[in-house]
Chains A and B, each alone.
Chain A
Amino acid sequence: MWDYTDKVKDYFFNPKNAGVLAGANAVGEVGAISCGDALKLMLKVNPATEVIEEARFQTFGCGSAIASSSALTEIVTGKTIGEALALTNQDIADFLGGLPPEKMHCSVMGYEALQAAVANYRGEEWHDDHEEGALVCKCFGVDEGVIERAIRVNKLTTPEQVTFYTKAGGGCLTCFEGIEQVLARVNDSMVEDGLITAEAAYRIGSVDPRAMKAKAQPKQLRQPKVDIDRVMAARPLAGAAAAPAPARMAAPAPRSPAVSPLAPSRPAAPKLTTLQKIKAIEAAIEGLRPYLKADGGDCELVDVDGDTVQVKLSGACVGCQMASVTISGVREKLIEKLGIPLKVVPV
């Protein structure tokens, strides 16, 4: 079991400021369901004073993710926007009495949600570091900018630490060399700035990626993980569609699958422009339509309003007793593809 501080446990077991904040005028959403971490931070900012008067959160994630989110809401309440922006992920971790190194990315997620919420308050498109550099880790959608900032703010000097703080390299590890290069470059500039010593700075080639991968799987409640990319290569795609439905004990299986199976795919980058979001939703729905058509039904996108996606069911789907299941399936597929919370409404 993770070595959580008493304060982390308290903020997990008794989270403060959890739930939806009605009337929030600053909302930041980061993370993705594929990564196992997502956070929606909601703030009520006084426009006259720019003081954050109230903060609430919703988190999909582990104990430290929930605790970090809750801590963040406590930290920012009463601060001005300017003061809040000066916070770092380390402030969140410090507030909690520290986090296990492997869980530091939870505090980074809080930091990013805050940045996103402030951008939303100001009516700006949040330009996170994801757009400032090349995509380094494809598994978790981590870009160069995120890695650079995490290294500098937290004085990171090993690839393993980069993984703990950003998740980059936590999957297939094919990005190891990319992480190494960014780390060495940023460490060099930190040496020049007097932030770290030359001895502490990372040198390319000084860590074996295989050893790092083994080390990245430390405390386990269950069986150790395996090389996921290798195993996933053996995953069925079309073959899964023919698989019989698993038995359900609570309710009978529907007449036919409302939405046919598709292998889960990684979501798009979590931050999308409105146009990108609409295109991604359109593409996801297009991917589902052949299965609906096979059952004599159909579905098309009508409109996207914030997080609400309006769709129109037609053909056999209209009046079908399983229409709600179809809608649920569409919603799940969209969430999976886009990695953000969405509501799907039939119109």
Chain B
Amino acid sequence: MKPVYLDNNATTRVDPQVVAAMLPYFTEQFGNPSSMHAFGAEVGGAVKRARKQLQSLIGAEFDHEIVFTSGGTESDNAAILSALEAMPERTEMITSAVEHPAILALAAHLEKTRGIKVHIIPVDAKGRLDRDAYRAALSTRVAIVSIMWANNETGTLFPVVELAEEAKAVGALFHTDAVQAVGKIPIDLKSTAIDMLSLSGHKLHGPKGIGALYVRRGVRFRSQIKGGQQERGRRGGTENTPGIVGLGKAAELAEQAMHDEVTRVRGLRDRLEKGLLQRIPNTFVTGDVDNRLPNTCNIACEFIEGEAILLLLNRAGIAASSGSACTSGSLEPSHVLRAMSVPYTAAHGATRFSFSRENNDEDVDRVIEAMPPIIEKLRDLSPFWQGAGEAPAAFKPVYA
């Protein structure tokens, strides 16, 4: 039976058209894009084409606002480090409690090693940013605000366009980690005050190890990788040409598939949620269900543990992800769910299903069929589960 892959927020399958676009740049088109001869010129043109494809996807005003990097983590690091270096008179930064570790780990490091004051803005039970706390933290001491566009675990969307306007009012730069958002929802940067944006190839059916940082024209930028004059001196090092070409093609395909993403994929996701919630008691959706990515569904199942769910799903040929501690070895459940005050009784059993344009109705049917007996089996094993007879028909999570 064909495996069902519903872990697209972790990574996506590289689109065959992307692979086809990349292949020549390993073989006949091997020139260095910086070279002056014909070999280099052709490859340089391909890099330029990819830049334009990305520009179009994210609505950047100029193609030279795109800086190719090795992926989302490098882009995030470059944005924050650059801002702090470019504005040494400002020694504070703002971020949220539910950011990706690429932001939070860096922020902690900067706090410890450079004395940067980091404001970590809390979220509410739906994972929405505390706007009052955000405004209170904004000041002329803040060099950079970094708030994600969409959360990778729950899909909750952040109002980054408005947040950027507020940051701009105090002269702070605004960066958004849009790794999960790009290619899934329409983005038009030129009409916003967002200064920098991170994206990654492998989240939109492109290759791994390639990403980009959008840097608005005029933003003071300090290169973090010193070297040659590649990327207008903003990132040294010979370009990963096949990766860049692949990312460009992936961006083009994502733009074409955007309508499918926000309609058909959303429909699949919603049908899955409805099916699971109807069939499994003591289960609820985490995050801001009315304002989230169309492809993401994070379902918390009470009184059982996520790794066990994943192992049984895997045996049924279904790939998903979990907010459980045991899947990571860190022993603590997801920092995102904990920041949302999701109780331990549910946080350990959260399961994330993330769709892509490659999923279909059959995939949804498979999960709806497989999941209830898995949950039932694990609850039968759990000392905390007292039986479905006691599960209220209209269960309401305590934290809601």
In the complex, chain A residues whose CB is within 8 Å of the CB of B314: 1
In the complex, chain A residues whose CB is within 8 Å of the CB of B370: none
The secondary-structure label for the interface of chain A is loop
In the complex, chain B residues whose CB is within 8 Å of the CB of A39: 383
The reply to whether A13 and B315 contact each other, CB–CB distance below 8 Å, is yes
The reply to whether B345 and A336 contact each other, CB–CB distance below 8 Å, is yes
The reply to whether A254 and B100 contact each other, CB–CB distance below 8 Å, is no
Which chain B residue shows the least CB distance to A63?
B311
A246 and B124 in contact, given A18-B381, A170-B332 (Cβ under 8 angstroms): no
Proximity bits, A241-273, B CB within 8 Å = 1, else 0? 011111111111110011101111000000000
In the complex, chain B residues whose CB is within 8 Å of the CB of A178: none
A66 and B381 in contact, given A249-B273, A261-B125 (Cβ under 8 angstroms): yes
Distance (whole angstroms) from the CB of B49 to the closest CB of chain A: 32
Q: Pick from A118-126, A148-156, A190-198, A325-333 the stretch touching chain B.
A: A325-333
Proximity bits, B307-325, A CB within 8 Å = 1, else 0? 1101110110000011111
In the complex, chain B residues whose CB is within 8 Å of the CB of A58: 381-383
A221 and B289 in contact, given A170-B332, A231-B335, A322-B394 (Cβ under 8 angstroms): no
In the complex, chain A residues whose CB is within 8 Å of the CB of B227: none
A-B contacts, 13 of them at CB < 8 A, read A2-B307, A12-B311, A36-B324, A102-B329, A167-B331, A216-B329, A222-B323, A227-B104, A246-B285, A252-B394, A254-B394, A261-B398, A325-B395
Contact of A246 among B286, B302, B338 (CB under 8 A): B286
Cβ-closest 10 pairs across A and B: A170-B331, A62-B326, A225-B330, A250-B277, A243-B125, A62-B307, A234-B120, A58-B383, A245-B400, A243-B124
C-alpha spacing A221/B309, complex, angstroms: 13
Which chain B residue shows the least CB distance to A326?
B392
In the complex, chain A residues whose CB is within 8 Å of the CB of B332: 139, 170-171, 225, 228
In the complex, chain A residues whose CB is within 8 Å of the CB of B327: 62, 220-222
A247 and B399 in contact, given A19-B380, A226-B105 (Cβ under 8 angstroms): no
C-alpha spacing A262/B344, complex, angstroms: 12
A341 and B383 in contact, given A226-B105, A240-B399, A262-B398 (Cβ under 8 angstroms): yes
A12 and B308 in contact, given A243-B124, A246-B126, A264-B344 (Cβ under 8 angstroms): yes
Contact of B324 among A62, A163, A242, A245 (CB under 8 A): A62
The reply to whether A170 and B330 contact each other, CB–CB distance below 8 Å, is yes
Is A43 an interface residue, CB under 8 A from the partner?
A: no
Is A140 an interface residue, CB under 8 A from the partner?
A: yes
The reply to whether B125 and A246 contact each other, CB–CB distance below 8 Å, is yes
Contact of A341 among B122, B321, B341, B384 (CB under 8 A): B384
In the complex, chain A residues whose CB is within 8 Å of the CB of B362: none
Number of residues on chain A facing chain B (CB within 8 A)? 87
In the complex, chain B residues whose CB is within 8 Å of the CB of A332: 302, 343, 345, 398
A227 and B381 in contact, given A220-B327, A232-B338, A233-B120 (Cβ under 8 angstroms): no
Identify the A interface with B (CB < 8 A): 1-2, 12-13, 15, 18-19, 29, 33-40, 58-66, 102-103, 139-140, 163, 167, 170-171, 216-228, 230-236, 239-240, 242-254, 257-259, 261-264, 322, 324-325, 328-329, 331-333, 335-336, 341, 343
A226 and B392 in contact, given A65-B305, A234-B121 (Cβ under 8 angstroms): no
Distance (whole angstroms) from the CB of A110 to the closest CB of chain B: 14
In the complex, chain A residues whose CB is within 8 Å of the CB of B105: 224, 226-227
The reply to whether B345 and A230 contact each other, CB–CB distance below 8 Å, is no
Which chain A residue shows the least CB distance to B342?
A264
Distance (whole angstroms) from the CB of B143 to the closest CB of chain A: 19
Which chain B residue shows the least CB distance to A328?
B392
A253 and B396 in contact, given A33-B348, A63-B308 (Cβ under 8 angstroms): yes
The reply to whether B305 and A240 contact each other, CB–CB distance below 8 Å, is no
Is B130 an interface residue, CB under 8 A from the partner?
A: yes
In the complex, chain B residues whose CB is within 8 Å of the CB of A219: 328-329
A222 and B321 in contact, given A36-B333, A249-B278, A332-B398 (Cβ under 8 angstroms): yes
C-alpha spacing A248/B386, complex, angstroms: 22
